[in-house]
Structure 1
């Protein structure tokens, strides 16, 4: 699966510092929303009305996770995703680790290491 194929799915969970305007997770959230995607927000350190502290709190279907978070936290999110049956992840630069990549391979989770902002631009969005 490549980034363009992942963009065919419309329900995304962005994991990271999604409320901080200086962070990429915030920019990604806004670009996906502007492009017409349903975006659910996850930050284990910052729960609020609009931000979930983990994936299991989300009642809606999640098609793809955009991992834009420290890899030490990212592996926990991926393990939770696996137990919930979420099997697609776009891993942003800096969010990847050998542990995450190995876990995805072992558990048959479709993953790419890319930037969703670049993927959206290539799609003309």
Structure 2
């Protein structure tokens, strides 16, 4: 299973990041989460600070491009295998930085990838 960091995690059950946490957990993935408010979703504690998580395979983004800027160095420092840009998070500037650091990126929807067994 792929250890995944959900960046932009929300306690609101109607938000896609919340649905993603639930779906990732139900598919057996280990999930870490960073968001604006502390809380727990599907047994996953949401941190509000940029924790130094180890062995992150995938970072799935739920932040618009402007909000991503403060996380560029953080995400690169985690050395994930890939970053998923969910709808509304597309960011060509960040794609370039990821490529320069040999990190794959995918413009896709985490929920669709999970639902079609392509995650």
TM-score normalised by the chain length of structure 2: 0.82
Q: Alpha carbon RMSD of aligned pairs, Å?
A: 2.2
**1:77 counterpart = 2:56:** no
Higher relative contact order (CA 8 A, sep 6+): 1
Aligned residue number for residue 38 of structure 1: 30
Q: Encode CA deviations 1:37-81: one digit per residue, 9 max, x unaligned.
A: 1111111x22347212244x2444311101111212223323212
Aligned residue number for residue 51 of structure 1: 46
**1:13 counterpart = 2:5:** yes
| Structure in which a larger fraction of residues adopt strand | 2
**1:92 counterpart = 2:83:** no
TM-score normalised by the chain length of structure 1: 0.78
Unmatched tracts of structure 1, length 5 or more: 1-8
In structure 2, C-alpha distance between the alignment counterparts of 1:118 and 1:109, rounded to whole Å: 21
Call closer, same or farther: CA 1:69–1:124 in 2, change over 3 Å. closer
Aligned residue number for residue 4 of structure 1: none
Unmatched tracts of structure 2, length 5 or more: none
| Structure in which a larger fraction of residues adopt helix | 1
In structure 2, C-alpha distance between the alignment counterparts of 1:71 and 1:116, rounded to whole Å: 17
**Number of matched residues?**
115
SS at match of 2:12: coil
